[in-house]
Amino acid sequence: MNFVIKKNLLLEGKTKKIYNTNNPLEVLVQYKDNLTSMDGLKNKFLQDKGIINNEISTLIFKFINSCGIKTHFIRRINNREQLCHKVDIIPLEFVARNIVAGSMSKRLNIQEGIHLSNTIFEIFYKNDKLKDPLINDHHAVFLGIISYEELNTIYKIISNINNILKKYFLDKDIILVDFKIEFGKNYKNDILLSDEISPDSCRFWDKKTMKKLDKDPFRTGLKEEVLDIYMEILKRLNVR
Ligand code: TMP
């Protein structure tokens, strides 16, 4: 295993910092202790949350890698950091929905909890000034962000990820309600699953009680509960 030297800060987001390393093709992703919602308008410090999310995201990315899906994740370096392939992030957030919740429930006035007969895929344009608006394939192509061919590839990958993650979580008595993922392109222009997968970016409901095991309690004002909830997810993922 090669020795990793952390270099300059490349960029800082709401919940992560990205550092260059001695290898120009690899970066260090560092998880911060911030919990955000409403496009960062609500931003709270929560001690050790970054450590827990690094562990959760590591376990999920390892699993996805083991299924043969290409991701940016190489390995966990320490309690807060992962070594990842360097990518240019495609400025689109892809959401897959299995059950109605969150913004879809509000936008279409449909009760939360209804199981969708077809998985719904949505695209949000990552643009803070515009508050990440919901767009469709044609907007994304018009904006010059992506081609139709790349979108087709990405939809196939998301569908695959959804199928394997639904089963992975169900084995741990967790229902995967919906999730948001991001993709990036490496130096060869390959599309890699990137960013993180954690209770920050997914909705998880307990299979037996339907309790929300994700960031939703924070979105509705309950900050203190979040760490216990994230620990519960980590505990279940660690059980084989
Ligand atoms: P939504 O119902 O609020 O649109 O969220 C759909 C999924 O996307 C949910 O699992 C939470 C996740 N998500 C993020 O990871 N980041 C965001 O900024 C938003 C709005 C949602």
Nearest protein CA to atom 14 of ligand 1, as residue: 201
> For the chain, where do the domains classified as CATH 3.30.470.20 start and end?
90-223
Taking residues 6-25, report their average pLDDT. Answer: 97
Residues of the chain above pLDDT 70, percent: 100
pLDDT of residue 240: 67
- Whether ligand 1 lies within 6 angstroms of the CB of 13 is answered as no
Q: Give the CA diameter of the chain.
A: 53
Nearest protein CA to atom 4 of ligand 1, as residue: 103
Task: For the beta carbon of residue 82, count every other beta carbon within 10 angstroms.
Answer: 22
- Give 6-88's CATH code, choosing from 3.40.50.2300, 3.40.30.10, 3.50.50.60, 3.30.200.20: 3.30.200.20
- Whether ligand 1 lies within 6 angstroms of the CB of 103 is answered as yes
Is the pTM for the entire model greater than 0.95? yes
Q: Shortest CA distance to 154 belongs to which of 203, 95, 196, 97?
A: 95
Give the tens place of pLDDT for each residue, 195-237: 999 999 999 999 999 999 999 988 888 777 899 999 999 999 9
- Whether ligand 1 lies within 6 angstroms of the CB of 201 is answered as yes
Q: Quote the ligand 1 centre to 94 CA distance (angstroms).
A: 9
CA angle 236, 191, 80 (to 5 degrees): 40
Please give the number of the atom of ligand 1 that sits closest to the Cα of 178.
10
Question: Can you tell me which residue has the tokens 């690899």?
Answer: 26
75 vs 61: CA distance, rounded Å? 9
- Give 90-223's CATH code, choosing from 3.40.50.720, 3.30.470.20, 1.10.3720.10, 3.40.190.10: 3.30.470.20
Nearest protein CA to atom 15 of ligand 1, as residue: 201
Inter-CA distances, 171 with 33, 98, 131, 175, 176, Å? 29, 17, 36, 9, 11
- Whether ligand 1 lies within 6 angstroms of the CB of 202 is answered as yes
- Whether ligand 1 lies within 6 angstroms of the CB of 165 is answered as no
> For the chain, where do the domains classified as CATH 3.30.200.20 start and end?
6-88
